[in-house]
Structure 1
């Protein structure tokens, strides 16, 4: 995949399906649409939403890994990559290149077992261009796939597999489960990404045959949602898609449920795991099966919240984990029901299994109450509206209903099914699918801890890739494909012109400074009946004692664990009964209490937020649990190469003299030393209205917000809190390479950068403009084009300038195949060195085109509006700063970019960090020219 979670669309849609709950209004709620079918079989769904001048376009093909054959796996996912690269009329760079010019949200895609989709949100003046481009991908693409193109994209997919599976904790777990839950003949037996062997063996003929079979109009749904003219759009769809030939008839996939004849127990010693993990998987039901609705409620009740049987047994009573998770993974022809527990260090997984059985027995005795059923459905209602808050979310929903239920209008039946779930249904599906049924149990344990596995487990078959220096295929991705163009009734090589330029309206911001000192900013918006807010108390780690780093993080965790008058369970119930979420968390510089709620429940939700702030509970039992959970998190980070890179890079960027060099969750020593009195002292001294911002967006007025804060304004004790100014002490005078050894790593995680700018610096936005073509513009950036598209070294790479009121770093981030570590760093260094020198008018044109046109979709969602308010309140930006930034873009010149590059991009004055396999990669890095690499840890280097 391109960088997006594999299950994103399933999760988006499942929460949509299962969250249209008890509120009477939800029974009347509809997403209006129009559907029609072209003569060639293309299904088209149109949905009008004129709230923003943008349009989302999604092309969904009813083909995923389940349409593949054993020995020829990974093809569907491979095409998710290939279709972005080139087509006959878009040319080299394809949709990615066009996206940068038209201000798109970044063309992207995802693959599942049953479908592959391609999607993007664009300013509405680019709609015809998008329809033209999507049609070109479907009907005028396959001739552009050549041997070099295929060879390069194989390397990209391999890097994705290393990053997502091979080089992270528990990465092989899902694969082991699939191979043992489903028979070898079942199309869900293999991973969506396929096997590296199959991918390597795939021929050009194999690939083209697969495409010609499945990528045909009669197997595709086009969804267009947003602000557009329906009549004109229909004409464009007919023009660009109408002459693409229908393919062979596509057979309907029959349901293929599975039954286990015995319980299977497997184990694996994981090179990247520090904690033991047990996963239980039962055969379940396909998507939209009548029992799926009650099973979803069961999953939530068993594992979510303090009343959950698994929480009470495993977390509270046995104290062997901080959480358990139960979830459905339902697909088109079958499904699975999964329970996963990552236990505390050195916990025997037989103890976890005993706890699960005990929790199940408790559930069998007590069942689920009507009150708890209503509570779960309330949360589902809020989730439903949240997932409809963007036009892309609506588009996804309509397409998925069409493909898997036969009509987008299935939403009405879906709602009825959700509302029909009873407490008896929940117990019935538990007894039918879980109680006493055979399952697959996987024990993933750290290397050397095989004594922790479930009794009776056998070693799982896991294929470990061996990466050998110089053994990858070579290719030249620059070779242009030669082919005879597919004939058309008109000249498709001519890109359509832009439509009428959209009139971008910035959200109207209101402000209010309360007498206590709380700074309130809001945007009133009634597109969906939701409110999102965040209360920001400045300080965070900046106000901590350096000997006890982690206090603000633990305080934030404890804040939502009860109040003076409510136990942790009672507070949780009060929140969930409103269909709300309230979350507290800490950053380096603040503590946040954020919330999401139905507009009708806003006042009740805010009353709970104020109770959390003004009447803390200081629950010692919860404090001890948070401490243990934090220690486990610290241990897990030590095994994850990306976490290691993040934490080590902070140390190098800020130096040990700065408090910002610390991992904000702390170390084992600091966390072990923290007492609940430390949290109380921090709270008493450092939480005050004078250092608090409140940002709110949604269906609530300024007057209502002000009234809702009256009690907090009156009763929150005023005190003087001084946020320390961080003096940047670290200046990089000469580049050095630092290496952190992770023996056996399949990838090298790279971080390159230096301390750069604060968000308040006058150059902060100009360097964002400069960075777009370097590494901030995804597929429009030189780093991506050269390291991924040109060399196949990586799955993803980016560069960024990050800052706050304090100076933040410039960073280049990537994970590369371990045996090209030296080559990757050399190329990155060269790109940085030459960037300003080679920057030209075309680069400037692409940069301006994207940054100016993308403003049309900049504030579409509630979250984006909330981010805007955060920037205004923290950095003293003007209310119309987006327009001011647009003027900066318009006034940028090549000469300005060159000067900024010269000032802020010096490859010889940067920190170079590599987290990887020192045995094979360390010594070679001396050739970069920055001296011998400095080894940061004591892992054995043979």
Structure 2
């Protein structure tokens, strides 16, 4: 398998990285075939027979950099529009087809420089996908009408509110880029554009943009996976050949950012609770030889215990929990950024002084050969991991073809990283960072300007006002009227399926060690990697109510060194194996998770054993972790999404149920937890009697079990009784709750009620029932109505989230503030009518997706690991997927109706809103569920 070849090369060159520094050149060879149609479409084919799936990617060389000032956000708007409809796919376009064919979900993304459309499908649907992608380029634009454009503007604007306007530090990148790049530079504005520009976009603007950029000679099509190349070429030519070539496109000139003098700006952030300092320098564009040295420089300065920035700001000054620095190279220009979020009330001037000290220390010592090779190994492993799925390889091939003009650069670029020298690292520091002009932004909580850098000037952001009825009206259900684009072939009929791939369930082995550890494994030799999870049951369930957060602190501290290794030494030991290991906690367990090269599997498990059995219990690290957690909790207080999650859990489970509590704890509880509390938790509850090991990868059962010998003999079992917290029943009547976040540009909603445990007989049938309601993405009624029909939201979902205990059924979304009531009314109508309007077509769509998607269910190691975790956690058969197929095949409309009535009742639900009470609270009286309960009173003058 090509994957195995790739990772074998990774092993070889990881070893090479630890030898004497000399020029390195990989023999990496990702095979591909490239050809070009007469109309200029460039096509790249890569075959990989390891799974019966194909990734299809269409990359168009247009991003926000190809826009003009005053009409920003168009490229991203088109990413949305092209999924909606085309002349031959009809309304719903790729999204509807994806549900029917069992695809991963039609998806896309927009950057400064390109827009891509991608998904992985069972290989029997390849011709369908080629037909559909051709329809986007040649038979799409006529379907864009005034109502379609008006609706999608609202969706994109909601995405901007969600990702920028309504989140902490959301405006930071906008402020940096508009000062780092001159006004006439195409990186001066953000990819998502501005609300004003989006609203001002006319239909003629949009059509002109499409005509110029969405042409075959500006696009790359990549097919990657299990398919017949000759047949694929035939289909590509059949469906794409007659699309006319567009006008010739002149490449944009590479142009770096320009900072004539350093500039310092501050912003009082409505959603920030901690101060954050960011510094940004202009650097170099994509594929410039210096970009690879900058990647290494920025990682060395900020990542890990030995990083110069962390030594000063975390360990010495104790101003922050971590630092982050990265290099961002785009097609035309690049930038390096350093961002540090301080602890509560930290003066950003002190952080700035610490940065200067760290830089000075680096100037004196530079980077060692050992650290250089360690970082190279990590970057190399990351590169190969990006090629470990057919979709990953497809995206890489498309990107190299688009930016470098050569998909074969996939076999060359890693050499540019491997050949970076110590001198290169210091040279790029001196060239782009040391003493150079930069942009500084100080983001501080409202009313705390005093924490910003001295002499910083206020950054002005034009924020949206919340006005009821401010958005234009449209009817997205109106059918577009247009004259169909002619074609030389019949395109109106969707191509037939190819030969159906058979469901192949991986072979699972299992065993139980002498001390009680249950072990589950899947041997998978496609790549020479091993992934594993050691899951120890308990987690927060074993905490006391006055010491919430102990499990989380225990897990975090287990990452910080061992009895015989400092934090830095442990980090180095892990990285030298080309591995990653992390310990983390959740509501129900503590997990040690890792990935390693197969040849280093046993050595990696030895480190896991050391971390598990010999924690360092370092008091300094303990105090730093506590400060970090407290900082996270403070920030959560102002983040509408985390506020919603915390409040909703308390309403679902009740204040006295530990399942309602934040796994981080509370500020009060964390501050009073001692190191002895962690030791007591570890001693009493970290036991093999409640542990399960899951192993997937290029290691057989014998070797996997042999690696656990020391854990068997050294880790003594003890009895651990995990408390059972009974989940309340669904409420007998609906209640509306409101949590006020003043000036919020969106309302975050969570509607639901206690429902089912995974082990309940109805659980999986209920998830099948929910597919068309809100679990099926664009196939769901909630998405079709609130996003596609009304433009109220960027996304809305419903799900059952039980574990071994009953969990809630929840409908969740973020809607624009001025349609908070209207959104809730739409949800209420949909779930009220769902049992009666569920149709045979809905059932067929559900069955088609859930059965056909099994072809790609086990493509990745992560998917296989998840399978093992399900088997061990819920005592499932190894072929439980086949059991679930039977449930799907036997599902009826009557059964769907019965389940919907039983578990999705609007009159027995909690209706939680987190948003701006001043403008939205009183309106919710109209929902018909009684007077809303205000959970926090930020403004005494609010009257119901």
Normalising to structure 1: TM-score of the pair?
0.97
Q: Distance in 2 between matches of 1:19 and 1:367?
A: 28
Q: Tell me if the contact between 1:19 and 1:384 (Cα under 8 Å) persists in the aligned partners.
A: no
Secondary structure of 1:594's counterpart equals strand
| Equivalent residue, structure 1, for 2:376 | 377
Distance 1:730 1:666, change over 3 A: farther
Q: Which residue of 2 aligns with 1:388?
A: 387
Take 2:217 and 2:678, find their aligned partners in 1: how far apart are those partners? 61
Partner of 1:540: 539
Which residue matches 2:22? none
1:785-824 alignment, distance < 5 Å: 785-824=784-823
C-alpha separation in 1, matches of 2:701 and 2:362: 45
Change (3 A) 1:838 1:393: same
Aligned-residue Cα RMSD (Å) equals: 1.4
Rounded Cα–Cα distance in structure 1 between residues aligned with 2:717 and 2:11: 41
1:90-142 CA-to-partner distances (Å, cap 9, x unmatched) read 00000001111000101010000000000010000000000000000111000
Aligned to 1:197: 196
Residues 555-704 of structure 1 correspond to what in structure 2 (within 5 A)?
A: 555-704=554-703
Match of 2:850 in 1: 851
- The aligned residue for residue 12 of structure 1 is none
1:476 equivalenced with 2:469 (yes/no) = no
Is the 2:728–2:754 Cα contact (8 Å) retained in structure 1?
no
1:443 match: secondary structure: strand
Q: Equivalents in 2 of 1:858, 1:852: separation in Å?
A: 10
Aligned 8 A contact 1:21 1:418 in 2:
no
2:539 and 2:587 in contact (8 A); partners too:
yes
Instruction: Answer yes or no: is the 8 Å Cα contact 1:732–1:754 preserved in 2.
Output: yes
Aligned length: 928
User: In structure 2, how many angstroms separate the alpha carbons of the residues matched to 1:779 and 1:719?
Assistant: 49
Aligned with 1:354: secondary structure?
helix
Q: Is the 8 A contact 2:772 2:781 kept in 1?
A: yes
What residue is the counterpart of 1:104 in the other structure? 103
* Superposed displacement of residue 927, structure 1: 1.3
Q: Structure 1 residue 262: deviation in Å?
A: 0.3
Q: Which residue of 2 aligns with 1:881?
A: 880
- For residues 502 and 412 of structure 2, the distance between their equivalents in structure 1, rounded to whole angstroms, comes to 38
Q: Which residue of 1 aligns with 2:21?
A: none
Aligned partner of residue 507 in structure 1, secondary structure:
coil
Corresponding residue number in structure 2 for 1:268: 267
Gaps of 5+ in 1: 1-14
Q: Which residue is 2:212 aligned to?
A: 213
- 1:280–1:439 contact (8 Å) kept in structure 2: yes
Q: Distance in 1 between matches of 2:535 and 2:386?
A: 25
Aligned: 1:94 with 2:93? yes
Contact persistence 1:385–1:529 (CA under 8 A): no
8 A contact 1:148–1:475 mirrored in 2: yes
Q: What secondary structure does 1:328 align onto?
A: strand
Match of 1:503 in 2: 502
Equivalent residues in 2 for 1:355-434, closer than 5 Å:
355-434=354-433
Question: Hey, what's the Cα distance between the residues in 2 that align with 1:265 and 1:600?
Answer: 50
For residues 118-176 of structure 1, give each alpha carbon's deviation from its aligned partner in whole angstroms, at most 9, with x where no partner exists: 00100000000000000001110000000000000000011001000000000000000
The 1-side partners of 2:296 and 2:60 are apart by 30
Counterpart Cα distance in 2 of 1:344 and 1:21:
40
Q: Please give the alpha-carbon distance, in whole angstroms, between the structure 2 residues aligned to 1:24 and 1:122.
A: 38
Which residue of the partner structure matches residue 513 of structure 2? Answer: 514
Secondary structure of the 2:346 match is coil
Q: Distance in 1 between matches of 2:134 and 2:500?
A: 23
Distance (whole Å) between structure 2 residues aligned to residue 872 and residue 177 of structure 1: 48
Contact 1:385-1:530 at 8 Å conserved across structures: no
- The residue number in structure 1 matching 2:3 is none
- Do 1:20 and 1:415's aligned partners in 2 also have CA atoms closer than 8 Å? no
Comparing 385-394 with 838-847, which one deviates more in the overlay?
Answer: 385-394
How far 1:938 moved relative to its partner? 2.3
Task: Check the 8 A contact 1:389/1:527 in 2, yes or no.
Answer: no
Alignment partner, residue 173 of structure 1 = 172
Secondary structure, aligned partner of 1:168: coil
Partner Cα separation in structure 2 for residue 876 and residue 205 of structure 1: 59
SS at 2:907's partner residue?
Answer: coil
TM-aligned CA deviation for residue 730 of structure 1: 4.4
1:910 correspondence with 2:890: no
2 CA distance for matches of 1:761 and 1:384? 42
Q: Compared with structure 1, are the counterparts of its residues 209 and 406 closer, same or farther at alpha carbon in structure 2 (3 Å cutoff)?
A: same
Tell me how far apart the structure 1 counterparts of residues 197 and 325 of structure 2 sit (CA, whole Å).
32
Q: Aligned partners of 1:875, 1:586: CA distance in 2, in Å?
A: 19
1:7 matched residue in structure 2: none
Match of 1:3 in 2: none
Q: Is the 8 A contact 2:727 2:807 kept in 1?
A: no
Tell me the alpha carbon deviations over residues 902-928 of structure 1, each in whole angstroms, 9 at most, x when there is no partner: 111111000010000001111111111
> 1:258 offset after TM fit, Å?
2.5
Structure 2 contact 286–329 (Cα < 8 Å) conserved: yes
Larger mean Cα displacement after TM superposition, 597-606 or 107-116: 597-606
In the alignment, is the contact (CA less than 8 A) between 2:466 and 2:919 conserved in 1?
Answer: no
Alpha-carbon distance in 2 for matches of 1:817, 1:19: 50
Measure, in 2, the Cα distance between the counterparts of 1:750 and 1:258. Answer: 41
- Equivalent in the alignment of 1:754: 753
Q: After superposing the two structures, state which structure 1 stretch, 448-457 or 523-532, moved more.
A: 523-532
What is the CA-CA distance between 1:29 and the residue it aligns to?
A: 3.1
Alignment partner of 1:75 is 2:74: yes
Q: Deviations over 1:681-735 (max 9, x none)?
A: 0000001111001111111111111111100111001100111222223431111
**1:53 equivalent in structure 2:** 52
- Check conservation: 1:170, 1:272, Cα contact below 8 A: yes
SS at match of 2:462: coil
For residues 482-525 of structure 1, give each alpha carbon's deviation from its aligned partner in whole angstroms, at most 9, with x where no partner exists: 11111101110010000000012111111111111101111111
What is residue 8 of structure 1 aligned with on the other side? none
C-alpha distance in structure 1 between counterparts of 2:760 and 2:893, whole Å: 21
Report if aligned partners of 1:738, 1:934 keep a CA contact under 8 Å in 2. Answer: yes
Gaps of 5+ in 2: 1-6, 18-24
2:182 and 2:258 in contact (8 A); partners too: no
Helix, strand or coil: the match of 1:809? strand
Offset at residue 385 of structure 1 (A): 2.7
Partner of 1:458: 457
Q: Secondary structure at the match of 1:291?
A: helix
